[in-house]
Amino acid sequence: MFKKALLLMCCIMSQPALAVLDIEISGGVVGDHPIAIVPFAWDVKSRAGLEDVSKVLATDLKRSGRFELIPEKKFLEFPHHGDEVDFQNWRSLGAESLVVGRVRPGSNGQYLIEFQLFDIFKRAQAQDAGPVEVEYKVKQIIGYSLSSTRQDLRRTAHHMSDLIYEALTGEKGIFTTRIAYVTATSKGKQKKYQLRIADMDGQKPFTVLKSSQPIMSPAWSPDARKLAYVSFEKKKSQVYVQDVLTGTRQLIASYKGVNSAPAWSPDGNKLALTLSRAGNLEIYTLDLTSRLLKRMTRNSAIDTEAAWSPDGKSIVFVSDRSGRPQVYRMPANGGRAERMTFQGKYNARPSFSPDGKSMALVHGTSRGYYIAIMDIASGVINVVSDGRLDESPSFAPNGSLVLYATSGARRGILSAVSADGKVKQRLVLQQGDVREPAWAPFRK
Amino acid sequence: MFKKILFSVLVGAFVLSAGCSSTGDTKGDDGAAVEDRSSGSTATDDASSTGLPSAGTFQGDPLDNPASPLSTRTIYFEYDSSEISQEFQNIILAHGQYLGGHQGVSITLEGHTDERGSREYNIGLGERRAQAVRRLLLFQGAADQQVQVVSYGEENPAQEGHDEQSYSRNRRVEILYKR
């Protein structure tokens, strides 16, 4: 069981506009890879209004939960190029990796960011076995020179984070990915709902849909170009698919009764939906090209919350056919459903990890509702959140974090937890509720 | 912790007979974009304290008679349940009979849940509640086309708040008359 961690620190991002999600990182455990990121040199006329790229980089790596950032105040030197580094200084601080860099003017008003990532510790250890003569043949792992416009500096910094993260962990970075979520604010009796997309750190939000009626269940297409969602703007549930770039949208399902819970097939050709057009909630699949609708369940219980396995072979869904909501699995082309969850009285909203080996769930106990991760092979369920009203889990596309909705002090906030439950961060909107997060896949 | 409420014979029989009432696909009729729905749904906040109708002294449409059971427009439910208590069966009976006698009148049943659990599952639960009320209305003489159903799940709470008092107000079906 996850131990409640103390709020350790608070990283407030720049631009504290009301609409932006602020991030607070909590969790007593930090990553086990010590890294030093030296503030970059700025060879520019004025830094006013320019994104502090090395700071963004440091925050990204810290958020990943994989690194221990060596605090700046311990630094013995502030080099900006590999030639200037005295690696003994960094080794004495226990740094295994070092990032140095500088920003200078590029062509056409752009900025040129040069950075190098060095591996210190491993090479030094290898040296230990040899003669006492200490010669740090420190290895440069990567070195890049990136050109960026002023507006793109933040995005470029995230891209650098991806490069460094991947070089050090062998796992793809998620710092340039995006999230979708729904916000709800009220002015007197008037409610305002917005479907928004932001960078994964909550910055650069933009609104793709506004309504006075609820919006639910955003789901990213596998190419991260479209969002399916449920809107009540016509005072009934309807499913739409919207192109994120152009803003154009299509009405996908507006049958009599419930039209809800859209889920994309991994090839992007089909949507699983929950419809009650036949009088009861059932799972359907809709071929988006032929518009052929296929009924997948036939049961007097509630059948809803379909999710496709990443290999496309099966569809999992939630049903209370046994009396309480539990997760079931059936072949994606139809057939008998088998129950998957047996631990706990309430398991709902399944969401697959990208490798298909585990599922995040809403797990209800007598104390509340938590996010849990189930190992599919063994059926073992591990609670990773603090509760008590946690819902809508969504894996980061590299599987390292799970984003979900929870309740903060009197309002809804988002939280992300590392898949092992160790590192946690909260994304807090300064006004109103934020809910229904969906982490976008890698862009193809 | 989950209180089981006994089914009354009436409701029990009815749920069994209900089956699938399938109809063709209908598109949402009103194109009126995104408007505020706060007006229709206020109905009554305190259904449980509504008295029995006084004998026929009220002049005008019984829908406007505050003493009529028809003035109760909200049916409340237990946690994770769509069973209708005896108290509310009498209310629904009155609405069903009224609709049976006024074929030109139509209603929308809005199904709602409290905020606990998964949002999409709660859409299912809200739908189930509204359908349970609908079946009882049809049984009392309302016609199929008079009764629309929409589930909002936990999306439109009547009362904000994360306690049982709020939750009990939010687990409801609202009967909205279109006149």
On chain A, the residues whose CB falls within 8 A of the CB of B27 are 254
Distance (Å) from the alpha carbon of A29 to chain B's nearest alpha carbon = 29
Q: In the prediction, which pLDDT does B38 show?
A: 37
- My answer on whether A409 and A272 are in the same domain is yes
Cβ contact (<8 Å) for A302 and B125? yes
The model's confidence at residue B54, banded by pLDDT at 50, 70 and 90, is: low
**Which portions of chain A are predicted below pLDDT 50?**
1-17, 28, 123-127, 132-133
Q: In the prediction, which pLDDT does A407 show?
A: 86
Q: In the prediction, which pLDDT does B138 show?
A: 96
Q: In the prediction, which pLDDT does B44 show?
A: 39
Among A116, A149, A169, residue at a domain's last position: A169
For residue A23, tell me if it sits in a domain: no
On chain B, the residues whose CB falls within 8 A of the CB of A320 are 121, 124
What does the pLDDT look like over A153-183, one tens digit per residue?
Answer: 999 999 999 999 999 999 999 999 999 999 9
In the structure encoding, which two tokens stand for residue A264, read together? 């994309």
DSSP letters spanning B45-77: S-GGG--PPPSS---S-GGG-TTSGGG--EEE-
- My answer on whether A151 and A194 are in the same domain is no
What is the tally of structural domains in chain A?
Answer: 2
Nearest Cα residue to A364 out of A340, A337, A383, A338: A383
- My answer on whether A77 and A145 are in the same domain is yes
Distance (Å) from the alpha carbon of B163 to chain A's nearest alpha carbon = 11
Cβ contact (<8 Å) for B117 and A325? yes
- My answer on whether A244 and A293 are in the same domain is yes
For residue A24, tell me if it sits in a domain: no
Q: What is the mean pLDDT of chain B?
A: 76
The CATH number for A276's domain is 2.120.10.30
Buried b (16+ CB within 10 A) or exposed e, A342-379: eebebbbbbbbbbebebbbbbbbeeeebbbbbbebeee
For residue A7, tell me if it sits in a domain: no
The model's confidence at residue B34, banded by pLDDT at 50, 70 and 90, is: very low
CB proximity B40 to A under 8 Å? no
Q: In the prediction, which pLDDT does B96 show?
A: 96
**Which ipTM did the prediction report?**
0.88
Q: What is the mean pLDDT of residues B147-164?
A: 94
Return the amino acid letter for A153: L
Cβ contact (<8 Å) for B20 and A278? yes
Among A130, A151, A169, residue at a domain's last position: A169
For residue A4, tell me if it sits in a domain: no
The model's confidence at residue B33, banded by pLDDT at 50, 70 and 90, is: very low
Nearest beta carbon to residue B25 from set A189, A211, A256: A256
On chain B, the residues whose CB falls within 8 A of the CB of A369 are 116-118
CB proximity B116 to A under 8 Å? yes
- My answer on whether A112 and A217 are in the same domain is no
Contacts with B, A 25-64, CB within 8 Å:
none
On chain A, the residues whose CB falls within 8 A of the CB of B119 are 216-217, 349, 391-392, 436
Query: In chain B, where are the structural domains located?
Result: 62-179
Give the separation between CA B71 and CA B43, rounded to whole angstroms: 8
On chain B, the residues whose CB falls within 8 A of the CB of A326 are none
Contacts with B, A 144-203, CB within 8 Å:
189-190
Among A147, A169, A191, residue at a domain's last position: A169
- My answer on whether A125 and A268 are in the same domain is no
A vs B, Cβ pairs < 8 A, gives 124
- My answer on whether A151 and A290 are in the same domain is no
- My answer on whether A40 and A122 are in the same domain is yes
CATH class of B62-179: alpha beta
What does the pLDDT look like over B96-146, one tens digit per residue?
Answer: 999 999 999 999 999 999 999 999 999 999 999 999 999 999 999 999 999
Cβ contact (<8 Å) for A232 and B124? no
CB proximity A204 to B under 8 Å? no
For residue A11, tell me if it sits in a domain: no
Q: Which domain holds residue A271?
A: 178-439
For residue A10, tell me if it sits in a domain: no
- My answer on whether A157 and A221 are in the same domain is no
Q: In the prediction, which pLDDT does A130 show?
A: 52
For residue A14, tell me if it sits in a domain: no
DSSP letters spanning A378-390: T--EEE-S--SB-
Distance (Å) from the alpha carbon of B121 to chain A's nearest alpha carbon = 7
Cβ contact (<8 Å) for A274 and B21? no
With tokens 């070089």, the residue in question is A167
Q: In the prediction, which pLDDT does A63 show?
A: 83
Contacts of B131 (CB under 8 A, 6+ apart): A279, B18, B82, B111, B149
CB proximity A308 to B under 8 Å? no
- Strands (E) located in A215-345: 215-220, 226-231, 238-243, 249-253, 259-264, 270-275, 282-287, 293-295, 303-308, 314-319, 326-331, 338-339
Residue in B closest to A327 by C-alpha: B121
Residue in B closest to A210 by C-alpha: B34
